[in-house]
Amino acid sequence: MTDSGLAPESLLEVEGLTIVLRHRHRPPASIARDVSFHVNAGEIVGLIGESGSGKTMTAKSLIGLLPDRMDVVSGRVRFRGRDLLDGDDPARVRGRDIALIPQDALHALNPVKTIGWQVGEPLQVHGGLRRRRIASVVGDLLERVHIPDARRRAVDYPHQFSGGMQQRALTAMALSMEPPLILADEPTTALDVTIQAEIIDLIGELRDATGASFLFISHDLALVSSFCDRIYVMYAGEIVESGTKDAIFSHTRHPYTRALIGAAPRLAGNPERLPTIPGRIPRPHEEIRGCRFRERCPDAGTACGEAPRLETADGDHAVRCWYA
């Protein structure tokens, strides 16, 4: 295992996770293959990739929310030393141990229930607190995510909140059971940039205040680069590079990560043309021999006919490439 020698404070360990999509007429296609990563206590970890990389399904599998035709066929997910895949009912883990901040705030909130009711719902389901106590906890939670005039606005309905405020309310909901791990699935994609920066700031602040860990799923390399401690880069169902923020951005080793960083425009000092990646990401059912990035890789060589393994280079920095 490439992720051996885990630090003792590791909260979540995923090892060799493989998810397949069953198809009626075709053999099953792999959505994620041999994915291994870990999240330590109090860490913000970024899981990034473009559409089709398998990042979202990897995250969903952790809380048992895979769509009907997808299954985890191998691998281990250990949360605080407990195996999540066989044994516990994922529904019991959800919310209490691992909470989710979903992407689309407006559709994630029930339009006919008040914000306060929805933030307090997990407390009712899991907690068995008295009503008055719940109201006070909800007020605290909304204050913690900086909703102005929180106690009064708890009786508002979702449509009375702006997009940024809705996302804050969802964050409060995720925090309600004080879970040690929070999955954030592109929680800022639908928001304006200044609001996005506020939410990102809030996540950092909450981590410092509660010691909770975050697994931040995003397609936005630039965003992730600004605040995650460690980053895993996924391509076509595989993790191709992982390491600290500094390692990924200042000592980039995988050609795909390098291409992705180069493809993003900057505020100033842009080249005349942006470097691009030729071709497209392979679909899950496509049979590929050797490295999955080979066809699009500028550095591909003879060794790439055989699939490379994720090898740890130095310290925490791992890369899946023969020529890195």
Partner 1 sequence: MPFAAGMPDAMLLVARKLSTTFRGRGLLRRGGDVRALNEVSFSLAKNQTLGIVGESGSGKSTLLRVILRLTPYDSGNVAFDGAEVATLSGTALKDLRRRVQPVFQDPYATFNPRFSIGSSIGLGFELLGEHRRQGVREEVRRLLDDVGLDPDLERALPHELSGGQRQRAAIARALAVRPDLLLLDEPTSALDVSVQAQVLNLFKDLRRRYGFSLILVTHDLPVVGFMCDHLLVMKSGEVVERGATATVIGKPVSPYTRALIDSAPEVSGKKAQPAERQ
Judged by the rule CB under 8 A, the positions of this chain that interact with partner 1 are 50-51, 163, 192-198, 200-201, 219-223, 225-227, 245-246, 249-250, 259-261, 263-268, 270, 272-277, 280
Give CA angle at 210 (98, 41), nearest 5°. 60
Nearer to partner 1, 203 or 318 (CB): 203
Distant-in-sequence, close-in-space partners of 241: CB < 8 Å, separation ≥ 6: 232, 233, 248, 252, 253, 254, 256, 257, 317, 318, 319, 320, 321
Give CA angle at 24 (23, 30), nearest 5°. 15
Shortest distance, position 191 Cβ to partner 1, whole Å: 9
Distant-in-sequence, close-in-space partners of 315: CB < 8 Å, separation ≥ 6: 243, 244, 247
> Any bridge partners for residue 273, and if so which?
none
Shortest distance, position 227 Cβ to partner 1, whole Å: 6
Nearer to partner 1, 112 or 193 (CB): 193
Give CA angle at 184 (229, 206), nearest 5°. 65
Nearer to partner 1, 29 or 190 (CB): 190
For the four alpha carbons of 133, 136, 140 and 141, in that order, the dihedral sign comes to positive
Shortest distance, position 78 Cβ to partner 1, whole Å: 31
Strands (E), the chain: 10-21, 29-40, 44-48, 70-79, 82-83, 98-101, 181-185, 213-218, 230-235, 238-244, 311-314, 317-319
Tokens 């996924």 locate to 234
Shortest distance, position 98 Cβ to partner 1, whole Å: 26
Shortest distance, position 129 Cβ to partner 1, whole Å: 32
Shortest distance, position 245 Cβ to partner 1, whole Å: 6
| Number of other residues whose CB lies within 10 A of the CB of residue 264 | 13
Nearer to partner 1, 11 or 200 (CB): 200
Strands laid side by side in the 238-244 sheet: 98-101, 181-185, 213-218, 44-48, 230-235, 238-244, 317-319, 311-314
Shortest distance, position 324 Cβ to partner 1, whole Å: 19
Contact between residue 28 and residue 215 where contact means Cβ atoms under 8 Å apart: no
CA 317 to chain CA centroid, nearest Å: 19
Nearer to partner 1, 49 or 75 (CB): 49
Shortest distance, position 225 Cβ to partner 1, whole Å: 5
Q: Are strands 311-314 and 317-319 parallel, antiparallel or unpaired?
A: antiparallel
Nearer to partner 1, 79 or 256 (CB): 256
Shortest distance, position 120 Cβ to partner 1, whole Å: 26
Nearer to partner 1, 110 or 270 (CB): 270
Nearer to partner 1, 264 or 303 (CB): 264
Nearer to partner 1, 94 or 253 (CB): 253
